[in-house]
Structure 1
Amino acid sequence: MEVESKKDVEVAPAIIAVHPDGSSVAVAVGPDLRVFDLRGGSAVSLVDDPAAEPFHKDNIRAIRFGAEGRLFVSAGDDKTLKIWSPHSWRCISTVSSEKRVTAVAVSNDGGFVCFADKFGVVWVVDLDPPLHDKKPMPLLSHYCSIITSLEFSLDGRFILSADRDFKIRVTSFPNKPLNGAHQIQSFCLGHTEFVSCLAFVQGQEFPDSLLLSGSGDSTVRLWDIISGALLHTCEVANKAGLLESDSKEDNHGHAITDLCTVLDGLLVAVAIQSLQGIVLLRCNVSSQTLSVSQVVSVAGEAFIPTCLGSSPSIGNLWMVTGVSSLPGCNYPSLARVRVISGIDVEQEPVVLGDDNIPGGEKLLETLQGTASVDDNAFLAAAEAVKTAMCNLLIKKQYPAENRESRKKTRNDRKLKG
């Protein structure tokens, strides 16, 4: 299948989120938000805020459950953030953003929602009643660098923001966040390409300060966020056999797209742009190292995950692949959901068939849609996501002789003249 190049169409990857207690699963693809109730065995009917524009009007870029599952947040290219109650699946607040939203996070106590925009500003919204007409306040800024991921530390003391300029910022989350966050704890520096995703190593025996990060440089790195020290670097794509050598020439095609901790952080699931499956990393806390445990392949179909999700209480890893607005394709939006069960340090994980997936056929119809899609479409979708990520996050390099002429034609220089 040939895919037309169309610059005015922005594609967005399908994303997935799992409720902390495993009671529901949400998938967003394009402007569509689809939720399935695993306990009730049925699709969820979302009820939007009657005082706002109904549902999202453009690509959803971020979805997130709060730490205890009392809140669910969705946001994206329509410059709108919606806060939902997972109990009733009613939108309890709609917040407008000045720019497109790229990442969201919910404070551990559920009192604040933070979101990052495409200009590099992180905003905070307090959830004290009343919830209507909430105005976001600026919390911190990365100065014109697209923020790719937001996370609260496990103890709630810090908010972490990662960007396309290779850095991770660790900021103290203040007692009065509406007044801004002004104290930087550390910077985690070492990636050589954009940072795409963050995840904390969880578990009672693990320090709260151990952070995992994935990047366009095909590595997963382990950090101590208090000092910003880089503890270990795992060349995941190389170790998984995707790179023939240590050459970095094709690293852009093997970007880490998502991370997800399982088994309380003993294992880390890693999605890579060119891998039909996932890589499982083992985290050794005593030696503070990461190592490849195994590669779990999805056989029989073209399935390159764009997002991962799991629940601490359920031993399943949820995966989704897909894309919105694929040019030249008969399907306006594509989504395919798979589940890996039995993830354990000692045993072999199993990729569940559609008949054995939790929720069965009803879940798949809800989260994927009813249309049957061939493998070629999903391969084209994977390439479209890869191209879109490169165009958005990999900074263009210009020869030295061209830089001065580009500076002279900048819009701000023109205005001054």
Structure 2
Amino acid sequence: MDSEPKKDVEVAPALIAVHPDQCSVAVAVGQHLRVFDLAAGDAASLTDDSDAVAFHTDNIRAICFGAKGKLFVSAGDDKTVKVWSTQSWRCITTVSSEKRVSAVAISNDGNFVCFADKFGLVWIVDLDPPSRDKKPSPLLSHYCSIITSLEFSPDGRFILSADRDFKIRVTNLPNKPLNGAHQIQSFCLGHSEFVSCLAFVQGQECPEGLLLSGSGDSTVRLWNVDSGALFDTCEVALKAGLLEDNGKAEEHGHAVTDICTVLDGLLVAVAIQSLQGIILLSCNVSEKTLSVTKVVSVVGEAFVPTCLGSSPSTGKLWMVTGVSSLPGCSYPALARVRVISDIDIEQEPVVLGDDNIPGGEKLLETLQGTASVDDNAFLAAAEAVKTAMCHLLIKKQYPSENRESRKKCRNDRKLKG
């Protein structure tokens, strides 16, 4: 009998989110949620009126600001979704999930929060009026496929959900979403590995927005959400020199981990596993094409971004690298924040030193913690995140002779009464 490989310790990557007006920056690593108020120049004081001992009791897997910046959501492995007011940083709503939460999104009007779980279900919560405890309503399902990303379209017509089975579903958002969203507008099909992230890019020629997606197949793709048509594909890992011309993305070493629009969508920042820096793409909305503008490297330290964030109009890109519960490491949660400034189509971006980052040393102490960590720990963190993503999102392939024996050991079969 073939023995299965020993399961690695499950870790979670560090996450970052930036207020739409760059009023505040939030970092989540492990169960820790850290927020710095850039307007006040100090750490935000988070409060929760519930009886919870801690805000979150397990790894945080998803954070985001609402489009208007009034709300912030955090959720994760503790099966809890928390909605925060960004004016007071008080938790105004706590939602319990039946499964671990893998993605969150806030509707453009701020009336609804959606979250997805690892069983493939998307739930919706009505925030009007806000209350401490809310019960979610089922919105749609991906049928047992882990949902990796959720996004509302800029015009509010659709909610988009991506999963580990290579597909992106575009669903019409009804007037009464609490009754469920049953009408599928399109599927965006073309990725050959899990879809890891979604983002929208807009322009005067296309106010409804075009969809961007990143994937484990080392590509970023541009889509029409109405029809599901693929406009363009950019082989970002190949363009960055991480793959040879005959390189195979099936090695799973160069997955796109995050994408983020900068300068109102004129440029798109892309984070890739193994790349110590980011790739900047130019998106031509009128011609519906993607092209690599430049590769921005972070020199002087081991920095492989795990998450990206920016406010729409600023020329600054915020990046974080880190991981929770790194095996064999004395640090319980690692996080390192860097900022790229002067991002523009014509000029060369600048990776800011710690002294020049908005908020300065105080911000770094708040978001990173006070412990000094060497480069070897962050290199180990990058490898741990890569392994964890591979185990979570890449389906295991078993020989045909093993499938029947595995079916007999399934624990999700219905038991006879």
Interval of TM-score (by shorter of Structure 1 and Structure 2): over 0.9
Equivalent residue number for residue 380 of structure 1: 380
Q: What are the within-5 Å matches in structure 2 for residues 8-407 of structure 1?
A: 9-248=9-248, 251-407=251-407
TM-score (norm: length of structure 2): 0.96
Say if 1:142 and 1:385 are closer, same or farther in 2 by CA, change over 3 A. same
What is the deviation of 1:251?
4.2
Q: SS at the partner of 1:119?
A: coil
Say if 1:416 and 1:409 are closer, same or farther in 2 by CA, change over 3 A. farther
Q: SS at the partner of 2:102?
A: strand
Q: SS at the partner of 2:174?
A: coil
C-alpha contact (below 8 Å) 1:22/1:313 kept by paired residues: no
User: In the aligned structure 1, how far is the partner of 2:388 from the partner of 2:310?
Assistant: 26
* 1:284 partner letter: N
What is the deviation of 1:128?
1.4
C-alpha contact (below 8 Å) 2:93/2:131 kept by paired residues: yes
CA RMSD across the alignment: 1.7
Between 371-380 and 395-404, report the one with greater CA deviation: 395-404
* 2:236 partner letter: V
Between 402-411 and 373-382, report the one with greater CA deviation: 402-411
What is the deviation of 1:277?
0.1
Offset from partner CA, 1:209-236 (integer Å, 9 cap, x none): 4100000000000000000001111110
Say if 1:209 and 1:185 are closer, same or farther in 2 by CA, change over 3 A. farther
What is the deviation of 1:8?
6.4
Q: Report sequence identity in percent.
A: 83
User: In the aligned structure 1, how far is the partner of 2:247 from the partner of 2:117?
Assistant: 34
C-alpha contact (below 8 Å) 1:19/1:25 kept by paired residues: yes
User: In the aligned structure 1, how far is the partner of 2:6 from the partner of 2:261?
Assistant: 36
C-alpha contact (below 8 Å) 2:203/2:285 kept by paired residues: no
User: In the aligned structure 2, how far is the partner of 1:338 from the partner of 1:413?
Assistant: 48
User: In the aligned structure 1, how far is the partner of 2:51 from the partner of 2:178?
Assistant: 24
What is the deviation of 1:82?
0.5
Offset from partner CA, 1:47-106 (integer Å, 9 cap, x none): 113344531000000011000001000000000000000000011111100000000000
What is the deviation of 1:409?
4.0
What is the deviation of 1:244?
1.5
What is the deviation of 1:204?
3.3
Q: SS at the partner of 2:139?
A: strand
Q: SS at the partner of 1:202?
A: strand
User: In the aligned structure 2, how far is the partner of 1:207 from the partner of 1:241?
Assistant: 34
Q: SS at the partner of 2:63?
A: strand
User: In the aligned structure 2, how far is the partner of 1:204 from the partner of 1:412?
Assistant: 50
Aligned length: 413
What is the deviation of 1:208?
1.6
C-alpha contact (below 8 Å) 1:149/1:163 kept by paired residues: yes
User: In the aligned structure 1, how far is the partner of 2:177 from the partner of 2:343?
Assistant: 39
C-alpha contact (below 8 Å) 1:20/1:69 kept by paired residues: yes
Between 122-131 and 246-255, report the one with greater CA deviation: 246-255
Q: SS at the partner of 1:222?
A: strand
* 1:343 partner letter: I
Offset from partner CA, 1:346-366 (integer Å, 9 cap, x none): 000000000100000000000
C-alpha contact (below 8 Å) 2:262/2:314 kept by paired residues: no
Q: SS at the partner of 1:291?
A: strand
* 1:25 partner letter: V
**Unaligned stretches of 5+ residues in structure 1:** none
